[in-house]
Amino acid sequence: MIELQHTTKTHDESRQGEALDMLPTGKSTGRKLYIESYGCQMNFSDSEIVASILLDNGFETTRDYRDADVVFINTCSIRENAEQRVRNRLKEFESAKAKNPGMIVGVLGCMAERLKSKFLEEEKLVDVVVGPDAYRDLPNLIDKVDDGTKAVNVLLSREETYADISPVRLNSNGITAFISIMRGCDNMCSFCVVPFTRGRERSRDYQSIVQEAQDLFNAGYREVTLLGQNVDSYKYTKPVAEGEEPAPAVNFAQLLAMVAEVSPELRVRFSTSHPKDITDEVLYTMGRYENICKYIHLPVQSGNSRVLDLMNRTYDREWYMGRVDAIRRIIPECAISTDVITGFCTETEEEHEETLSMMDYVKYDFAYMFAYSERPGTLAAKRYADDVPEEVKKRRLTEIVNKQQEHSLYRAQNFIGKVQKVLIEGFSKRSDEDYCGRNDQNTMVVFPVDTRFKPGQYVNVLAERCTSATLIGKIVD
């Protein structure tokens, strides 16, 4: 998963007021929901499940929180500044609530799970606190608040995957969509709060995943991204009915193939791959299907084996390089991106240099880079001192960001003079005279509008120029 910061790619989704005014699916209560999301794509995807549940309960959605009866903020705990951003935003809701005392303010997601009922004490305007596995309970919790009590449900589940809930697509371009294939995480990376906020790993029934992809395709979508904290450990075994033979488990490579089979016109992406788990079977499956995009997000975190061990990543430098070599061998045109943390506990200057040399080895297409932020309750917070001074973390981060800038540019330049197959996603952010879309490798491509082609269609674009994040070209069909 990618929580967005210090990226050399352009992303603008670290916060989003959910757009499109939508009507309830059943009988209307006339009440309005406003929901905004922070953090990783999983949270954005969860907000679509939340909206679906409330629409089913007679709510409509609004784009303006001042106009809403229920204001939800779906939160992230991954770094301290992610939590700070949410607290600042809650302050902004205060005046709206003062004007409209009946307005219900709810905190959902990872911060809700981490802080539980403490949230109600810390932030007085909050009425409801709901963890990521308790969204089915939302209508009931809202009823409680209507009756005058504050409400909390932060129970984690071993089974909940919301498989039967069909998400409403919020803020959608109608062409690309996310599909959650699993929830939670069983890896205990020592820096990471996710296992505490999202609970145990569980995989969703593959039939409901394939059906969701098929429904999206029928509705005109042309790209799906399969989401999980560690997609390579996807594994689903059908429950056995009485008198039936048990069906064999389905793994991630098999799931990828099933989704790719929906249509050759449907692009399939996925995130995140864990270096310890990504298999050659997945790589060969990617190679076999033209419509599985040649792009892997493979977070390295550090290039040094001692630091990786302290991080409890369960691979070392050599193993990671071996996986990169396998990708290059099996899918030579594959783009690779990464996440890096600088200044993890006890990281020395030499160890930081090894992260830089790892970057030189891989020459990542993109990277998401962060200074280490200690999270309460994690293994690292309990075991190790957060002893790299803030200015050293920041300086190392700058070195890493600068290096990535060079590599992103190098990778983008490699596309120049070559024809890219691009799925048109819409107009470019800068101008209505340009379309934008991504190539197979996930690099953004911008090119003049040609009225013969519409968003949702594939076009061949000759890349003529680039920045480190974007290719600029023209349609050559």
Site string for ligand SF4, 219-248 (x = CB under 6 A): ----------xx------------------
Q: Which is nearer to ligand SAH, 5 or 263 (CB)?
A: 5
Residues of span 132-171 touching ligand SAH by CB under 6 A = none
Q: Considering the rule CB under 6 A, would residue 41 count as an interface residue with ligand SAH?
A: no
Q: Considering the rule CB under 6 A, would residue 39 count as an interface residue with ligand F3S?
A: yes
Stretch that binds ligand SAH, among 189-197, 321-329, 348-356, 438-446 (CB under 6 A): 189-197
Residues of span 255-284 touching ligand SF4 by CB under 6 A = 274
Applying CB under 6 A, among 126, 296, 341, 461 the residue interacting with ligand SAH is: 341
Q: Which does 110 bind (CB under 5 to 8 A by kind): ligand F3S, ligand SF4, ligand SAH, none?
A: ligand F3S
Tell me the closest approach of the beta carbon of residue 343 to ligand SAH, in angstroms.
Answer: 9
Interface with ligand F3S (CB under 6 A), residue total 15
Q: Which is nearer to ligand SF4, 63 or 200 (CB)?
A: 200
Stretch that binds ligand SAH, among 233-241, 280-288, 370-378, 406-414 (CB under 6 A): 370-378
Stretch that binds ligand F3S, among 40-48, 93-101, 138-146, 441-449 (CB under 6 A): 40-48
Comparing CA positions, the residue from 127, 90, 131 lying closest to residue 111 is 131
Q: Which is nearer to ligand SAH, 68 or 369 (CB)?
A: 369
Applying CB under 6 A, among 9, 31, 198, 323 the residue interacting with ligand F3S is: 198
Q: Which does 76 bind (CB under 5 to 8 A by kind): ligand F3S, ligand SAH, ligand SF4, none?
A: ligand F3S
Q: Considering the rule CB under 6 A, would residue 445 count as an interface residue with ligand SAH?
A: no
Instruction: Name the binding residues.
Output: 40, 76, 110, 185, 189, 192
The binding site for ligand SAH (CB under 6 A) comprises: 1, 3, 78-79, 191-192, 194, 229-230, 272, 274, 299, 301, 339, 341, 370, 372-373, 375
Instruction: Name the binding residues for [4Fe-4S] cluster.
Output: 40, 76, 110, 185, 189, 192
The binding site for ligand F3S (CB under 6 A) comprises: 1, 3, 39-40, 42-43, 76-78, 109-110, 193-194, 197-198
